Amino acid sequence: MTHALPDRLVDPFERSIDYLRVSVTDRCDFRCTYCMSEHMTFLPKKELLTLEELDRLCSTFVRLGVRKLRVTGGEPLVRKGIMTFFDGMSRHLGDGLDELTLTTNGSQLERFAQPLWDAGVRRINVSLDTLDVDKFKAITRWGSLDKVLRGIAAAKAVGMRVKVNTVALRNFNDVELFDLLSWCAAEGLDLTFIEVMPMGDMGEVQRLDQYWPLKDLRAQLAERFTLSELSYRSGGPARYFEVGETGQRIGFITPLTHNFCESCNRVRVTCTGELYMCLGQEDMADLRAPLRGSESDAPLEDAIRRAIARKPKGHDFDYSRQEVAGQMSRHMSHTGG
């Protein structure tokens, strides 16, 4: 007897939702100035989904048609026992799931590169905003650049493809643009630039002071290099270009100067089981209650479907008129990077 496959997740605008980003912790061993305040109050552990609950939740999404799973945080690799979750998720690779991956600050990669490879992780994103030791310490507050570079080397050594994610920050790494590009080319790393997003109260840090539009960054690159847009897509929001002189691929994620909402195929689940249909909207659905309230997955599936039916057409981020419109009160570390 054959069982009918469940209907795939399709939102009101006929976009197929096949990409899930799931945060496994709000904790991090860095305190990056654009991501969280230095003295964060983290969630009580009882509010976080257990690793078993995360497995059940993600498995349900895979059953409903998710083909790509990205694990985020906080810093996902500081979650105790996290490899249990990766090892569990690896059973879906080739059986519904096309890719299991993560975004990391790189601090724990030296230790976890081989176990992650063994679990089927073939491609990772590493957040790295500067190659200057002192500036790295300043922006991460607690981080070690050398440790991150050793982690990237370890990931490359086991065979992983590494993409560097760099948040474009005015008066910080704008002077390093060509150094970052050259270093990534020499190391064989893809590079993606991201516009800083208005997420959470940073206290003394002003978003408008940090904001460096990627159209300006790209114009600087075009003065020195030939940029050709590529049809390549990674499943995420980046638009990719080839640098003619180096042959490397660089991406641009531009939620503010050029949003990518029309092709949005992804949703995010926080470490507490909140499903956000859009990064730039406050609407969310509680998945923890149906997850903990029933041994059957039917209420969980129903909650997911009802949430996807509310997925908006786009976000409200805007830096025009010298104010931060559409600012989200929650920190990026809570929603998942």
> In this structure, what token pair is assigned to residue 77?
């690799």
pLDDT, average across residues 194-201:
64
**pLDDT digit string, tens, across residues 256-303:** 655 566 778 889 999 999 999 886 677 899 999 999 999 999 999 999
pLDDT at 319: 40
Q: Which of 14-28, 31-45, 154-168 has the lowest mean pLDDT?
A: 31-45
pLDDT at 202: 42
Confidence band (pLDDT; 50, 70, 90) for 234?
Answer: confident
Taking all residues of the chain, what is their mean pLDDT, rounded to a whole number?
A: 86
Confidence band (pLDDT; 50, 70, 90) for 317?
Answer: very low
pLDDT, average across residues 240-261:
82
Q: What percent of the chain has pLDDT over 90?
A: 64
**pLDDT digit string, tens, across residues 147-183:** 999 999 999 999 999 999 999 998 899 999 999 999 9
Q: Is 19 annotated as a binding residue?
A: no
Q: Is 28 annotated as a binding residue?
A: yes
Q: Which domains does the chain have, with CATH numbers?
A: 19-335 (3.20.20.70)
DSSP 213-271: -HHHHHHHHHHHS-EEE-----SSS-EEEEETTT--EEEEE-TTTS--GGG--EEEE-T
Q: Is the pLDDT of residue 53 over 60?
A: yes
**pLDDT digit string, tens, across residues 64-119:** 999 999 999 999 999 999 999 999 999 999 999 999 999 999 999 999 999 999 99
Q: Is 184 annotated as a binding residue?
A: no
Q: Element (H or E) spanning 104, and its range?
A: strand 99-104
Instruction: Say how far residue 136 (Cα) sits from the centre of its chain.
Output: 20
- More confidently predicted of 311 and 38: 311
Q: Is the pLDDT of residue 209 over 70?
A: no
Q: Is 103 annotated as a binding residue?
A: yes
Q: Is 59 annotated as a binding residue?
A: no
Q: Is the pLDDT of residue 201 over 70?
A: no
pLDDT at 248: 92
Q: Is 58 annotated as a binding residue?
A: no
Q: Is 335 annotated as a binding residue?
A: no
Residues 6+ apart with CB under 8 A from 100: 69, 71, 86, 89, 90, 92, 93, 119, 120, 121
pLDDT at 322: 43
Q: Could you tell me which residues are beta bridge partners of residue 100?
A: 69
Q: Which of 27-41, 139-153, 209-223, 321-335 has the lowest mean pLDDT?
A: 321-335
Q: Is the pLDDT of residue 331 over 60?
A: no
Q: Is 163 annotated as a binding residue?
A: yes
- More confidently predicted of 53 and 253: 53
Q: Is 36 annotated as a binding residue?
A: no
pLDDT at 144: 93
Residues 6+ apart with CB under 8 A from 301: 6, 60, 63, 64
Q: Is 205 annotated as a binding residue?
A: no
